[in-house]
Structure 1
Amino acid sequence: MLDQLKRCIQDKYYILRTEEVFVYWARWFIRFHGLRHPAEMGAPEVKAFLSYLTNGRHVAVATHKQALCALLFLYKHVLQIELPWLDEIFRPIRLPRRPTVLTPNEVASVFEYICGAHALMAKLMYSTGMQLMECMTLRVKEVDFERREITIRHGKGRKDGMTMLSLSLVVPLREQIAQARLDYDADCLG
C-alpha cells in the first residue's frame, strides 16, 4: 500500500520531500492502529490519530495539518475513498504571534559561534533572505560576482528568483569556491 502511495505521489509530480513526509505519516497512522489496513478504517481512526498527535504528542499546528493532508491524500487518491466526514475533524488553529527579530548585535553574537562553510551559509541566508535548501543547492554558476546577484532556482513555490549578494560576502564566497575547486581537483587526482 505504501508503494501505491509513493507511485501516486510520483504520478502527480510532487517533490521528493513531500513523498517522504506523506509516507512517514501514512506509516505512523498504520502502526498507531496496530497495522490495520487504512481501507478498514475510517473517521474514528483518523480522529483518534489526529487527537493523539494534538493531545498526546503536542505537535504544532503545522505538523497536525501536514499529517491531516497526508491522510487525506492517502484516502482520496490512493484508496479512492470519499471523505464525507472530513468536516467533522477538529483542526487546531494557530494563535497569532509577533515574529521575533534579532537585533544586529544579537545576530553578530550568533555569527561569532559559527565557523567555516557553515558561517558563510548562515551569512548568505541572513543577508539574502534565502531559505536553507535554496542555500544548500546554490551552484557556482548562479552567483554573478560582477553584478553582485544570486539567482535562486526553484525557490519557494518552485519559482526562480534573484537576490543581491552582499559586498561583505564577495571575498569569502570567492575563497570558498576556490577551496572547493582545489578539493575537487585533489580528489580527482588522488
Structure 2
Amino acid sequence: MDQIAPPAEPVQVIRIERGDQGGPPWEQRMVAVLRTRQLKWRTEEAYRGWGRRFARWLGDKPVEEAGGDDIRRYLEHLAVEGKVSASTQRQALNALIFLVRETLGRDPGDCTGYRPGRATRRIPVVLSQRECQALFAQLPDHHRLMAQLMYGAGLRLMELLRLRIQDVQFEQGIVIVRQGKGGKDRVSVLPESLRAPLMEHRERLRLLFAEDRRADLPGVWLPPAVENKIPTAGVQWAWQWFFPSRQLAIDPRSGIQRRHHIQDAALQNAVRKAARAAHLSQRVTPHTLRHSFATHLLAGGADIRTVQELLGHADVTTTMIYTHVLNRPGLAVRSPLDNL
C-alpha cells in the first residue's frame, strides 16, 4: 500500500478557492450570518450560490428589495425553464428564505403557490457482490481501502472522508459517524476483514502526524464547538483525519494552510476509472457502494429497521427503496416465462 507520509521535497499546497467574505453587501451579510450560525462549508457554498443565481435572475432589481413574490416566481422559473427536480427546488427555497429572513432581516411573506419541480424517485444503482469485487480489484491500494470501508460500513462519501482517528474503534468493532446528514451521529459496523489493513493504515498515519508536528503545522480543522472547548484538539492524535490528503490545503474560511482530508473528487474519479476498467455496465459512483451495502444486507435477511439505523435514515420509507432492487421484492414472484 502506498505510503501516506509526504515526500522529501517541499510540500505542495492545494489552492482551494479562498473563502472570501462575499462580493456585494448582501452576500457579505449572508456570509457573516452563515458563519455565526456555524453552518457547514458546503451549506455556505450552496446558499451563496443560490443567492448569486437569484441576483442574476432579478436583473436590475436589488436583492435587498426582493420578497416572497420574487422568490415564488424564481422557483417557478426553475421548474419550467430550468427543469430542476423538486429536491433542487426545495434547496433553492431554503437558501432564499435564509437570505431574505435571516440575512436581510425581512419577512419574505407568502412564497407558496409555485409550480413544483419534477418529482423523481429513482431506483438506486446497485452492484452485485461479484461486481463489487471486480471494482475493488481495479482500484489503487489507498483508494481501495476507502471504497471497501464505504461499502462495508454503508457510509456516505463525506462521512467517510471526515472520519477522525478516534472514530474508527477497533476494540468495539464500530465506526462512528459524527454530524452526518441532518447533523446526527450514528454508529455503523467495522468490517472484520478490514481490521488488519485499517490498523496498518493508521500506523502509517503516525509518520505523517509526526512530520506535521515537527513542521509545526496548524492543527486540522475542528468543528467550532470543539475548537472553542478544546483549542489544542487540532494538534492531538485522536482528532487527525483518518484519510488525510498528501498535500496541504488552504482552509476556505480562515485562509490557514493546514492538512485536510482527501478531496471527494479524488475518490470519485478513481471509482469511475475503476468501473470502466472492470467493464461494469452501470454508472458507478462512490454512493453506489452505500446503495449496495443496504441492498446486500436486506438480501441477506437483515431487519430493515437495523439497516435504517446503520444508514442513518430518519424515515424507514427511505430505506424501503432498496427492497425494490432485490430479486424478490415483497412477495416472491416468479416470471411466467420460467414456467413455459
Q: CA deviation at 1:135?
A: 1.3
Query: Paired residue for 2:163?
Result: 138
> Which deviates the most, 34-43 or 83-92?
34-43
The alpha-carbon distance between structure 1 residues 44 and 156, as it changes in their structure 2 partners (threshold 3 A), is closer
Q: Deviations over 1:17-52 (max 9, x none)?
A: 222211111112112333631233345543453344
- How far residue 156 of structure 1 moved from its aligned partner, in angstroms, is 2.7
Q: Which residue of 1 aligns with 2:192?
A: 167
Q: Displacement, 1:117?
A: 2.2
Gap change, CA 1:177 and 1:76, over 3 Å in 2: same
Note the residue ranges of structure 1 that are not aligned, 5 or more in a row: none
SS of the equivalent of 1:162 reads strand
Distance in 2, Cα, partners of 1:110 & 1:81 = 52
2:55 maps to what in 1? 30
RMSD of equivalent CA atoms: 2.5
Identity of aligned residues (%): 32
Among 6, 11, 30, the residue aligned to 1:5: 30
Question: Which runs of 5 or more structure 2 residues have no equivalent in the other structure?
Answer: 1-25, 216-340
TM-score (norm 2): 0.50
- 1:126 shift after superposition: 0.8
Q: Which runs of 4+ in 1 moved over 6 A?
A: none
After TM superposition, the score normalised by the length of structure 1 is: 0.83
Aligned match of 1:89 in 70, 93, 114? 114
Q: Larger RCO: Structure 1 or Structure 2 (Cα < 8 Å, ≥ 6 residues apart)?
A: 2
Deviations 1:121-153 (CA, angstroms, capped at 9, x unpaired) = 111111111222221121222222223222222
The secondary structure found in structure 1 opposite 2:124 is: coil
Whether contact under 8 Å (2:78, 2:117) holds in the other structure is no
> What letter corresponds to residue 186 of structure 2 in structure 1?
G
Say how many residue pairs are matched. Answer: 190
After superposing the two structures, state which structure 1 stretch, 32-41 or 118-127, moved more: 32-41
- 2:177 corresponding residue in structure 1: 152
Question: Which structure 2 residues correspond to residues 28-177 of structure 1 after superposition, within 5 A?
Answer: 28-34=53-59, 36-43=61-68, 45-177=70-202
